[in-house]
Amino acid sequence: MKYFKSLLTLALTLAVFIGLNGKFGSTPPMGKFLSPNQGFWQNEQDENLSSTVQIDGLEDEVTVHYDEHLIPHVFAQNNADLYRAQGFLTAKHRLWQLEFQTFAAGGRLAEIFGEQALDYDRQERRRGMDFGAENALQKMKEDPETLSYIEAYRDGVNSYINQLKPKDYPVEYKLLDYAPEPWSIKKTALLLMYMTKMLAGRESDLEQTNALAKFGKERYDLLYPDFYDVNDPVIPKKTDWSFIDIEMPEAPENESSIDSISLTETIDKPHAQNGSNNWAVSGEKSYSGHPILANDPHLGLNLPAIWFVMQLATPEHNSYGATLPGALGIISGYNNHISWGETNATRDVIDWYKIEFKDDTRKEYKHDGQWKKTTQRIEEIKIRNKETLYDTIIYTHHGPVTYDHNFKGDNAKSGYAMQWVGHIGGNNQRTFLKLNEGKNYDDYLDALKSYTAPAQNFVFASTEGDIALWIQGKFPNKWEGQGKFLLDGSNPKHDWQSFIPQEFNAHTKNPERGFVSSANQHPVDASYPFYVYNDGYETYRNRVINDFFRAKDQFDIQDFKNLQNNNYNLKASELLPYIFDNMETSTLTNDETEILNTIKTWDFYSEIDQLAPSIWETWWTKLYKTVWDEFDADTMALEIPYTYQTIYMLKNHPKDELMDILSTPEKETAKDLFLITFKETAKELTEWRAEHGNYNWGAYKATFVGHLLQALPAFSRFDLHIGGDYNTVNAAAKNHGPSWRMIVEMTSPPTGYGIYPGGQSGNPGSKYYDNFIDRWAVGEYMDLLFMQSEKDTEQIIASQTLTPKQ
């Protein structure tokens, strides 16, 4: 009996130990997590800023001054020290995010989350993320300068990681119960792949193929036109392209008809609302005679924020702006001579090839009338608390066979291979290193030359007075129609034949109109000799921006701020008047009429205190869905036509058969849809009001900035007071929007303004974690402190010296 009691106590003790030491589901290991000497209580502090830190491998001392926003101003004696310090400081303030993003990029989340992340990991491996990162790394290694800097960055990150004790780990590690691993140069390549996927990973070839099969060519072209009836492209219309004098690839003759695709689902696509604005005005159009440049990339609104702001200086160059944790240098910013910023240059750089294997072994595939050898890449996917999974992915000369009978497909003898510019690899890090050092237009051009992906509209302005915009990336030179739909993997004429020579990429320098701009719209008009079609271009922000700059002769900083925060809803303004003229209103109740009158008096500005934007958003969402109800009924993978063309159809083809709602016996027209969806809208908003109170746009949209761990509420910020929607220049959607607003006037030295929805610290326990968010929401900017000397420490709150290890 005594022994029994002892055994029982032993069992109880073990149970308590195991229970408090381990993680169960999403519950953190409570003993570890709550222990004040080891758990999250240790993260309850601001960063330690004023100290001297010894760092392995530094050649000279590096001085780091922090301003009141916790922005580090780094002064190093040479580039290697500078990038080593950048790695160290990024890790110091953003370690968990820095590492987590590369895990997400490379499909390694199952190592952290276990089996629930396995599907995601397999998908990313099959997308060729790791493959692409390896190829990119290879290209970076070919340039000794780039290699030495990414190694310095790596060592800087690792100097920080190595001096950490478990109690110092960022709180997310403690919550998920794992530890940081050493940083490697491949992780810089993975981070760049993460951006490439985010910005150049969207395509709908398989969906388009199905749509073509479903509708036939004529209908298809009406619903999915290559160019809309309006177009205000990035590179102004009527640009002279006569300097382009190469032969264009010819479309193969007698194309066999394309079948629909046997897949019912495709891999996840990047967010449709990834986009950006940038623009610059020349000295003549500027109030001060100095060019002014602006950039605001629209990305997911996350905490820790995607951007980390820094100043990076050596005796040779001095730059300031937004960095990406994991990449070197300033990505969107300025130095003493030039400024630069990016928007996404959406282009079709992913194509799908149908592959026919010789037999079940899949060792050979058909190409050019022969059986050619495939290669295999075995992806090792580690899973927390489970056995490692090995996924064999077949590669052809096109790229990975993403879909096969092991993944979303059902035929052992066929599959779909992906060809992606992201797989080719490129030294895209070099571009940013060179921009940081650039002094003029030629340097900018040289920096851009080697840049492959994700293709960007690089805006430029210099103190010398030049403004420019290059659409830079590596673009396959396609024959008319190539890659819009599924291609035949056995037909060599369907292969990518060549790339557009870099000097023929569309660009504009010091245009007559005195400004350059881009907002993810069509890059060019139809006169550009290379094949470009509508791949989901934005059609509203760009027109508001260009009209703004055509309307006046001169612009100042306040104009720029106003434009970045402009909530004019061009989309609504192009459809609502038509609806008001055509909708039958005799059957409306009093309440419905009141709602209709509210939106009728709207000035089309989506401001937070207005009711009308909420009515519009709800109404449009329902209308858009109802017009294309035919697509819901279909089990094929399809993508519904874009917004602009939908509005075009409503206004120009109101009696088209697509307006009919399949589930009703009546034959509806656009006019009927307006009324039906309006009544639904009124009902929904009335219910919403009963539950939540007034549906003014701010409350109804409820913009939030979510923590990277699926918007963990405790670490996120909700109900932000910001107007606009995805199609306004201030593209603040629910969880998407301007992720870094920057304005730079090219005085000497340049004067910068900027803000982003986050904070410099990645620690949810720091007051610097989210301190920019409220100011960002109301459209305020920080006056950026661009230090010209490390001795000028007037606005500095703390300084730190990084010294070589003795």
Partner 1 sequence: MKKNLINFIVTLIIAVILSQFLPWWHVMAAGFISAVFFSLNRAAVFYIPFLAIFIYWTIYAFWLSQANDFILAKKIAVLLPLGGSWFVLLLVTGCIGGIAAGVAALLGKQCRNLVKR
Q: Which residues bind partner 1 (CB under 8 A)?
A: 2, 5-6, 9-10, 12-13, 16-17, 20-21, 30-32, 34-46, 166, 171, 175, 712-715, 763-767
Nearest distance, CB of residue 761 and partner 1, angstroms:
11
Q: Which CB, 12 or 246, lies closer to partner 1?
A: 12
Nearest distance, CB of residue 763 and partner 1, angstroms:
8
Nearest distance, CB of residue 102 and partner 1, angstroms:
25
- Can you state the percent helix, strand and coil of the chain, rounding each to 5? 35, 20, 45
Nearest distance, CB of residue 97 and partner 1, angstroms:
17
Q: In which residue are the tokens 């034959």 written?
A: 667
On whether the CB atoms of residues 798 and 62 are closer than 8 A, the answer is no
Number of neighbouring beta carbons within 10 Å of residue 134: 17
Nearest distance, CB of residue 27 and partner 1, angstroms:
8
Closest Cα partner for 274 from 323, 192, 202? Answer: 202
Q: Which CB, 140 or 303, lies closer to partner 1?
A: 303
Nearest distance, CB of residue 293 and partner 1, angstroms:
36
Helices vs strands, H then E, count in the chain:
23, 29
Q: In which residue are the tokens 């459809």 written?
A: 575
Q: Which CB, 154 or 717, lies closer to partner 1?
A: 717
Q: Which CB, 31 or 270, lies closer to partner 1?
A: 31
CA dihedral (573, 578, 581, 587) positive or negative? negative
Nearest distance, CB of residue 12 and partner 1, angstroms:
6
Q: In which residue are the tokens 């509203």 written?
A: 540
Q: Which CB, 662 or 714, lies closer to partner 1?
A: 714
Rounded-to-integer distance, Cα 497 and Cα 474, Å: 13
**3-state secondary structure (DSSP) of residue 501:** coil
- The CA-CA-CA angle for residues 559, 562, 567, to 5°, reads 145
Nearest distance, CB of residue 6 and partner 1, angstroms:
4
The residues, any chain, with a CB within 8 Å of residue 54's CB and separated by 6 or more, are: 802, 803, 804, 805, 806
Nearest distance, CB of residue 754 and partner 1, angstroms:
25
Nearest distance, CB of residue 702 and partner 1, angstroms:
18
Read off the amino acid at residue 663. S
Rounded-to-integer distance, Cα 33 and Cα 375, Å: 46
Number of neighbouring beta carbons within 10 Å of residue 585: 12
The full length of the chain comes to: 806
Element (H, E) at 601: none
Q: Which CB, 21 or 264, lies closer to partner 1?
A: 21
Nearest distance, CB of residue 39 and partner 1, angstroms:
7
Across 317-348, b (16+ Cβ under 10 Å) vs e yields bbbbbbbbbbbbbbbbbbbbbbbbbbbbbbbb
Pairing of strands 487-488, 275-281: unpaired
Q: Which CB, 17 or 580, lies closer to partner 1?
A: 17
Q: Which CB, 45 or 527, lies closer to partner 1?
A: 45
DSSP 630-681: HHHT--S---PPPHHHHHHHHHH-TT-GGGS-TTSSS---HHHHHHHHHHHH
Nearest distance, CB of residue 302 and partner 1, angstroms:
16
On whether the CB atoms of residues 197 and 420 are closer than 8 A, the answer is no
Rounded-to-integer distance, Cα 752 and Cα 290, Å: 13
Rounded to 10 degrees, the C-alpha dihedral 427/429/435/437 comes to -100
Nearest distance, CB of residue 714 and partner 1, angstroms:
4
Q: Which CB, 180 or 514, lies closer to partner 1?
A: 180
Q: In which residue are the tokens 């934005």 written?
A: 538
Nearest distance, CB of residue 176 and partner 1, angstroms:
12
Q: Which CB, 66 or 619, lies closer to partner 1?
A: 66
Rounded-to-integer distance, Cα 691 and Cα 668, Å: 32
Q: Which CB, 44 or 56, lies closer to partner 1?
A: 44
Rounded-to-integer distance, Cα 655 and Cα 172, Å: 55
On whether the CB atoms of residues 475 and 451 are closer than 8 A, the answer is no
Q: Which CB, 310 or 773, lies closer to partner 1?
A: 773
754 - beta bridge partners? 742, 782
Read off the amino acid at residue 29. P
On whether the CB atoms of residues 398 and 418 are closer than 8 A, the answer is yes
Q: Which CB, 173 or 530, lies closer to partner 1?
A: 173
Q: Which CB, 72 or 764, lies closer to partner 1?
A: 764
The CA-atom distances, in angstroms, between 225 and each of 228, 483, 543, 652 are 6, 15, 19, 15
Nearest distance, CB of residue 33 and partner 1, angstroms:
8
Number of neighbouring beta carbons within 10 Å of residue 550: 11
Nearest distance, CB of residue 639 and partner 1, angstroms:
37
State the burial class of residue 179 (Cβ atoms within 10 Å of its Cβ: 0-12, 13-18, 19+).
exposed
Rounded-to-integer distance, Cα 398 and Cα 496, Å: 9
Rounded-to-integer distance, Cα 735 and Cα 297, Å: 14
Nearest distance, CB of residue 50 and partner 1, angstroms:
16
Q: Which CB, 642 or 715, lies closer to partner 1?
A: 715
Q: Which CB, 33 or 403, lies closer to partner 1?
A: 33
Query: Quick one: DSSP state of residue 729?
Result: S
Q: Which CB, 690 or 714, lies closer to partner 1?
A: 714
On whether the CB atoms of residues 767 and 483 are closer than 8 A, the answer is no
